[in-house]
Chains A and B, each alone.
Chain A
Amino acid sequence: MALGKGAKGDDRTAGIDLLDAAALARLGNLELLAKTVVEGFILGLHRSPYRGFSVEFAEYRPYVPGDDVKRIDWKAYAKTDRHYLKLYEEETNLACHLLVDASASMGYGSGKEGSPQTRTKLEYATRMAACLAFFMMGQRDAAGLAIFDDEVRTFLPAKLRQSHLQRILTELANAEPGGETSLHEPLHRAAEAIRRRGMVVLISDLLGDLAPLAPALQHLRFAGHEVLVFQVLDPHELEFPFDGLTEFTDLETNERIVTSARSARTAYLEGFNRHQDAVKAMMADLGIDHVVFDTSQPLDLALAEWLHRRGRAG
């Protein structure tokens, strides 16, 4: 299924367009293991810290392998000869906020038209956010969205409604790369705006200044959120495969540098690796799970790999 905004001959809605059916099908067999034991992420696996809290029946849903058999409604089974889980409105699942960086640098992509690789990092990020939102909603977790560059452009608080999912997907589909990367301000805003403790997933290339980012992430942690940072990078940023005389134009500042790419490669990679080392060190200090996604990797495989890793760690 062709993904991406404006796909040729596509008359479907923008939100549906974002969903990779194949990816979703593969991811449907995986379990999302929350790092913390307090709040579950995938229905049937997490144990709520708010056990005994008032519950109100909301709906049944079919049993899926992995669900706790103790939660099967045996009465319904007796009637229908099928396994159903009984869900309650107030059965608190995770409130997950997806913070998507839509700065100009996220508009970079080395992927070619027709290649499996997405064209830009923002495309990769929005698809990733869509997938996560879909699963959140699918597992009765509330999903929220914030799209920002140097300021928050869109903020949707976490809700557990199908219509909300559609709204999230619509916003993601309409996301365009904008101004300079300035993560700390939007993160501070988000920390203040998100009242309910939950999970915050930051999807960004993290190419901004790291010094003010740490307090912003600390702010989120202080508010009780589990923070996941998904760093999306293009393979060209990782390998700098350029050669010859090249004029580089900064997507955010329009600054230009003409240099011999071959000779500048070493210096670039040194600087880039230093930056990445600093990012990792900062994330480790803050206890934040940090994952680097290469946009040349298929999104589903990348997420599956991370989930496996997280599952083993949990």
Chain B
Amino acid sequence: MATTDEVPRIDLSSEIERSRDRRRTSRRGNGIARSQVDKSYPLWFYIPGGVVYLVLFLVPTALSFYFAFTRWTLFKSSFIGFDNFVTFFQEPSLVGALKNTLIYAFLTSSAKVVLGLLLAVLLTAPIIARGYLRSVVFFPVLVSAVGVGLTFQVLLNPTDGLVNRVLAVFGIDGPGWLVDPDLALYSVAAIDIWKGVGLATLIYIAGIVAIPPEYFEAARVDGAGPWHIFRSIILPLSFPATSTVIILSLIGGLRSFDLIWTTTQGGPGFASDVIASVIYKQYQAGFYGLSTAGNVVLFIVVTAIVYPLSRWLNRREVSL
């Protein structure tokens, strides 16, 4: 038996003996010996991805906490203490950007929670054309922000845009959606909701479908109406979906850049500037220290909101 072709040239009998030993240990409960297991899952598997992640993500993040306190030309940096942050919080346009970021993120994520849940309830009910509706609601998620941004720039054109033309038919004088300083930020947020609600809906659908059907049956036997079923079953039991939607859309909303840049570029004036667009503008203008300070502000805003919120949501999820 020692000479079949497939068997590599090793001492078979002792190998079998050893594997019998291993099986014996495994029967004793703990699987193969720990050291043997560890050798099969070597830590160097972390290295290829880890090095790139370290060099291009972690190191720059750490460095940002130094360069944010400098006047910086990429070749030379001189330490100037909190000057960049003082500039950041004294310049009305930059403070406005911080405020806009918060408005934008909370507006888009709450709208995605509410609309996503409602659409998901509708799209899990037995209605006609359900498959078509699911695809059509989801498709904007896959279109690039640039494409969506440029298209809506045209659709929302104050005089010739399709939206205002339709409004004119009903006798409504449509506003300058993206050119009115009081409205621009909300218009971009609305486009963001249009583009992203499909993803929220999809997450909710997955959450609702995972609710065991017995709950619905029991509720129906007890004579619960649709509102009651929604209030007492769907709403609480799709909570994991809610927390996923909130966290994902908050992270996306706070960091959002592509859509704002391709619709208004932060304008008119600074009316729809957010932190991410300020970072880009300061970078373009060559104020690298100030741009990096913006990055640090964004880092603090995102972690200060998302981290405690996700802890809290997780705790609620567990207690359900």
Q: Do A and B come from one complex?
A: no
